[in-house]
């Protein structure tokens, strides 16, 4: 028995010396100090020993046990104990979800619209937000004295050009891209321009001073309102993912003739009448028309050979109708509980 204990001691000590991490400690602890461990077995065997031998062996076994315990405490201090707060990782616990970012809802909507127009063979264009009076107004058949300048509350830039005139504005619409696109690409042309625009507006649930628009422009030799109607129906049906109808009534914009206001059958009630469409079954969606000959001319395109249609509308408005958002200010609120829904 004494020999056995001696061997056991040697075995434990060599194992303890070879310990490299906290998991080794656990193993050794279980093997020798555990309820069914080697030392427990020794204590069990004691009972069957002759009385005079029993005492000495018991003492030796206790000594060994104390020695092993001390050593294990020492090692635990060195390697740390298996305890969560000390860095132990329970790989069976459900993981902590890492918050990933995602695209802003307006970016998602812009991408959706771009996809729809790309599929119809349109180019995607951009234009400057800081724009000359010429491209924002003049070239669009809105001369300096034109009352239509008051239709859009403009942010003028407080800086004169060489001729002593104030001629820079924050673009009031994406229509500034129309003549730029004609100059660059000529006719025939199919393009949409999406981007940020600025208006000196009082802010409320449906008005912002800075918002987004999508502009469409299609020029070719035989373009009529039927082409406009077809493209708009495709855009709305694609965007709202359901078949919609449109209707047109006269509207005034200096850069189109005829000018139109386009309405879409209400996507909430499918035209039956609800609070969104004020019981009419129709919602006003955008301004459009056939490009005015003066605008084609400004873009270097012969109005006797080519015609075109143009339309423009607010992207927030399209998004609000799609997702049932009732306050335009939410888009720029930075409110994560709003943004995380998209
Ligand atoms: N630019 C107009 C607006 O901002 C919309 C529009 C674009 C109307 C093109 C007709 C043609 O209100």
Does 109 score more than 90 pLDDT? yes
Closest residue to atom 5 of ligand 1, CA basis: 312
Spatial strand order in the sheet of 307-314: 123-125, 189-198, 210-220, 307-314, 282-291, 256-265, 246-250
Per-residue pLDDT band at 274 (split at 50, 70, 90) = very high
Ligand 1 mutation target, pool 136, 153, 253, 284, most atoms within 8 A of CB: 253
Q: How far is the CA of 171 from the centre of ligand 1 (A)?
A: 12
**φ and ψ of 261, to 5 deg:** -105, 130
pLDDT at 3: 83
Tokens of 252: 């005034």
The three-state secondary structure class of 214 is strand
| pLDDT, tens digit, 9 for 90 and up, residues 222-232 | 999 999 999 99
Per-residue pLDDT band at 81 (split at 50, 70, 90) = low
Per-residue pLDDT band at 56 (split at 50, 70, 90) = confident
**What's the pTM?**
0.72
pLDDT at 24: 85
Cα angle vertex 291, ends 290, 295, to 5°?
A: 165
Closest residue to atom 2 of ligand 1, CA basis: 312
Residues with Cβ within 8 Å of residue 125, at least 6 apart in sequence: 177, 180, 181, 191, 192, 193
Q: How far is CA 30 from the centre of its chain?
A: 52
Ligand 1 mutation target, pool 196, 211, 287, most atoms within 8 A of CB: 287
Nearest atom, ligand 1, residue 216 CA: 9
Does 87 score more than 90 pLDDT? no
| pLDDT, tens digit, 9 for 90 and up, residues 284-321 | 999 999 999 999 999 999 999 999 999 999 999 999 99
| pLDDT, tens digit, 9 for 90 and up, residues 142-196 | 988 888 787 778 999 999 888 888 899 999 999 999 999 999 999 999 999 999 9
Does 243 score more than 80 pLDDT? yes
The percent of the chain in helix, strand and coil, each rounded to the nearest 5, is: 45, 20, 35
**φ and ψ of 291, to 5 deg:** -55, 130
Residues with Cβ within 8 Å of residue 298, at least 6 apart in sequence: 139, 140, 141, 179, 182
> What percentage of the chain exceeds 70 in pLDDT?
97
- Assess whether the C-beta atom of 175 lies below 6 angstroms from ligand 1: yes
Q: How far is the CA of 137 from the centre of ligand 1 (A)?
A: 12
């Amino acid at each position: 028995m004494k020999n056995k204990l001696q061997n056991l001691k040697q075995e434990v000590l060599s194992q303890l010396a070879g310990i490299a991490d906290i998991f080794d400690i656990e193993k050794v602890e279980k093997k020798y100090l555990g309820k069914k461990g080697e030392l427990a077995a020794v204590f069990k065997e004691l009972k069957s020993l002759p009385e005079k031998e029993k005492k000495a062996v018991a003492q030796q076994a206790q000594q060994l046990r104390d020695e092993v315990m001390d050593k294990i405490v020492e090692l635990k201090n060195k390697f740390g104990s298996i305890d969560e707060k000390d860095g132990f990782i329970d790989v069976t616990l459900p993981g902590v979800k890492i918050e990933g970012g995602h695209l802003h809802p307006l970016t998602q909507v812009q991408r959706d619209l771009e996809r729809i127009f790309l599929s119809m063979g349109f180019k995607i264009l951009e234009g400057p937000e800081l724009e000359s009076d010429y491209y924002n107004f003049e070239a669009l058949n809105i001369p300096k004295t034109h009352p239509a300048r008051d239709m859009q509350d403009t942010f003028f830039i407080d800086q004169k050009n060489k001729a002593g005139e104030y001629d820079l504005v924050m673009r009031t619409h994406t229509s500034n891209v129309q003549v730029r696109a004609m100059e660059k690409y000529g006719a025939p042309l199919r393009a949409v321009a999406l981007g940020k625009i600025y208006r000196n507006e009082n802010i409320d649930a449906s008005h912002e001073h800075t918002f987004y628009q999508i502009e469409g422009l299609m020029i070719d030799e035989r373009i009529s309102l039927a082409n406009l109607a077809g493209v708009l129906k495709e855009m709305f049906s694609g965007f709202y993912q359901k078949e919609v109808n449109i209707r047109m009534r006269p509207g005034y914009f200096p850069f189109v003739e005829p000018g139109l206001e386009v309405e879409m059958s209400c996507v909430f009630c499918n035209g039956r009448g609800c609070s969104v469409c004020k019981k009419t079954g129709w919602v006003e969606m955008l301004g459009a028309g056939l490009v005015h000959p003066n605008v084609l001319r400004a873009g270097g395109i012969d109005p006797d050979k080519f015609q075109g249609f143009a339309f423009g509308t607010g992207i927030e408005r399209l998004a609000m109708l799609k997702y049932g958002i009732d306050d335009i200010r939410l888009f720029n609120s930075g409110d994560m509980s709003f943004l995380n829904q998209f």
